[in-house]
Structure 1
């Protein structure tokens, strides 16, 4: 019987019953048309009989309460279509209830697990019939989530495998796992029964001997404690037994082995599948903590030793995807060298992992929330330490070299457009060809664009301004920096070129449209013919007292200008799909851009303008060219685009700038000016905007956690045209000449090599005859010694080490009165390096950049200040290298103050004498992994 919620099941039952009775002809075929030449009355009569029977059976199964709502029909197929149309609105409710039932299903271990998984598959099939399709991978994860805790090791095994299982494979593995668990329970029960029988047999004589004692005590009701042997209480109630248990304690067992004993930073976290709990070496990042209980004071490691647990708490890690990972019940063990993340502990909270290609991914509810890479045979979790609680980033970390051919970089520069649009830009030769294989999953796009709906096509106009789509979006919960809460868009149907205006109220739509109309009609020399919008009051008009909607100012203005208004049907915003889709695309891009940046939400208006600027210059599915090209007839250029919200060092126009004032301002890029060529920036210090064409964009900067803002002065980056040229500048650099392989040390003579630097200088500036003063960088360089190393004495302190008479370069050494002694010291240094095979003289390979070298001169003096000898050292200019590209920096710890005090105490205690020695040629960290070319 049809009840309004079981239409699908009712329809299937009716079709099955009619088919079994061979009465479904009227549902399968149309009524045959009679032919006077060849009449076939049997077919017509058979169809009419099938039609009557189908109508009677279907009407009989429909309750009387629905008869008035369902229109009469003499055709069985038509009657079924009417019923289906009447109850089709309940499909959303059915899909929602089926999905809720599927997600909430849990296997309790009773019954057959095969039937349980097939039931979940049946629900997924019903959802697919309701146009809500679930992938096989998602269904597999839902089944694994619904399994009970004793399938925990089984789920961990799946998460650590590279290959994915189909639903049939999952059923097979689950059945095998359940049978294995049942066999283990049976064997355990059998062993317990056998052990009990043996125990009874061995104690048979003891029972016989004590039977008389039991008869004596049978009448006594007072129990005896088996622990303290005193009557009056039982063992579980014994106070001595309770205190003994507390004193004894229970130690946890923890298996861990460290494969690399090198220095590991304390803020790195490593994933370990063998760890049974999370381990932290310090309290850094701990949200709250508690002291360990008696049975948590120690844990055992792989070698059998036990280590002390100082505290147990919850740690929060911020992953590079923006996800906050909370590690509960983390043991703080300072004696460990690494922070470890237990996979089994993550699995208890619904996380899963996948490993392969020296990388791993962390999932939650089938969404990627974290990733990592294989380092030293362990997987390192990608964790960031930047504090993004405030919109203004208070620190800037290391700057990497930007890969201009990165698809991910251009994806962010173009406002998070799709990969297909980037491919079209490459194929249209608007962008330079580059490899799209590094196009990774963008978490910001997932956050801003996740949807299940689809877009419908429509017929396009034949020329520009034939049809304009418009719509108003808002209000936004956060007003823009200028107080606007709405925005209105105008999109040309032919070219898809769009305009956007920020407004305070919807009533401003007419004034904005007048401005838009005057501009586009004058620029294009054509008239707007039609405007399509919804039936909102700002477009169509307001309702009067009689309930009728009267034309408003906007509609009356269109009538006066002869523009044909086109309105959507009530409740059908999809009829104006171009404007609705444009608004959705803009909001998706703005959410992604703001999510990727660190700017406040009040700048959503600037992000909207930038998104419109980008959409006008990138292709879409609706047009075969870019909107900019169809609107203006010119090909767009994308070379000037940068990532919205990225940090920048910009030079604003300041007519009264002092000579010592910083040339640039630390700011953020927020868009492109509407009426000029340049960039728009936001200064978070003054909370103001300014426009300039001279800026350096920091699009690939990693944000540190505890570093201060560095005042960096960069070279100007003007917006140059194609007619500007590059002028070379020659800078002489002195370098020493090193002897050959035959051991002959020639005279050391300073030489000069020319290095050409090509800065971006417009030709107008190059033709100026006046000299341009050199600019000095005021960047505060970070010390090469890490913060966690202690340096008690340096050579420049207290006049120790380099004296005022020591030359600082080769020229000063040759001009000093001790020039011959310095030459002998340099020859001695060269001979020592040749004897120790420090280098090999080779030809410089193609494409390799050598590093320079210099001489360090130092006078060695005794305790009375007399000169003992002259020391010259040849060192490489390692500061010209870039971290992670041509070197890995290493450090050696210095002796601590405590060690020095211990040595002095031993000397004083045993009345010893201490001498200081100087090793003539010592190479600390002499073996390096990289091949370095020096000249």
Structure 2
């Protein structure tokens, strides 16, 4: 136990005297003892202090004062001239040279302020700390300090003494020392910017801060800046057909197709990227389309589908589909909710199909309800275009035979289609004008839409004018378009685009609107017919006009209805409406509750 006295007098009890008669002389071991508590406070302040190195501070509850052996730690230092000394546990004394204030930076982030710290140069340890108004809990070889239930600091047992985890503060550091502030503090000052930016500011010597932040993650940043983790590309792909099928549904509910379809469902093979799409009217038809695709691919390729990957849409959660996959050994893989990136193959394919569809529709000038025909043609073309990671086209990998592209035509162009044999005549045109709208599935023929009656025809024989788009030109020059495609004058049909031969900027000015040349004559219905609008108020109308139909609004009140010329009709309408309400039991007549007001009518 450490005590303090003046004039060389020792203050202790007899059983504590080391010189007591009969007590063997032995070397005291370092230990910590209990003593009464002095009033010291813990202060948590802004971390802007001069840091030089670390030192040990011993937690000794038996000490009556704070002691320090390092002069550089003392703030507000004052020399002592009254010969004050301290008494050690081995009956020796040490002189007090001065006193001051010490500020300790704890590893917990808090700061401990010690007042009236005695500067004793001859102590064998760097610092001795008495109890400072904290709750001290000893747990084995650890000590925990708390104040009012809040954690302050902890220490560890070393050579029989408890040492606090501290970083001491150098009050008289050299000029080479610099001000260090917490990285977490600057993180808050800079609006929770990332720590990489704080490090750059430190490298530019714009701020002085510690090398790294004390905490691994900022809870506020995690809560306010949370982002989804990046989706890594799949490194390994399938090596055979039908090992994995990607499926997705595209929605066109806002624009119903010509055939009454609102959706299309796509099936993409992961290995070849061959795609099959089916137009459907409702979502629940997607299951039957998958059964159709599975049966066709199994019969044509002689292979089985092993895995099906889709999102968690209701059309893929159908009980029928689940039972079918289980009975056929197909593993149905679902994406995580709200994570379409996990089904990226099908999603990307849908985007590509829709972009091609928009381009082809705009180029042709056809209406939006033709999207069904366009998307089928777009899928037909995509299967014949090599994928960026493949050296062959999806069609060649799927069908396993060579590809011919010579029959492809520009979608939406003009085509001259011959009349059927039953409609052919010896004299007159042998063809009729159509628009090319796609390719016939499972048949060597084209699909056309007749310009006259908008019917759909299929034919293998046609003459295409791939630079002429009848519906697109009709938006700018209807008379010119009709003249160019007149079946009675086929000789004037040109394959040169209209935009190359006609200045469309002055087209509207040059072409006058067609007006009727019939002479206009004033019509008379006799002297008894008066065709003058009456704009006077109802009360100011002359009696001579009471039998005329008045151009006026309906009466706004019941009284106006009774005073109008159609009062009998209004009465009949009111009676009919009330009878209908009674007949349909719209309400029940009850007495008005106390304190309530009735809803007024007109």
Q: Give the TM-score range, shorter chain.
A: 0.3 to 0.5
The two structures have a TM-score, normalised by structure 2, of 0.45
Larger Rg: 2
Higher strand share: 2
RCO higher in structure (CA 8 A, sep ≥6): 2
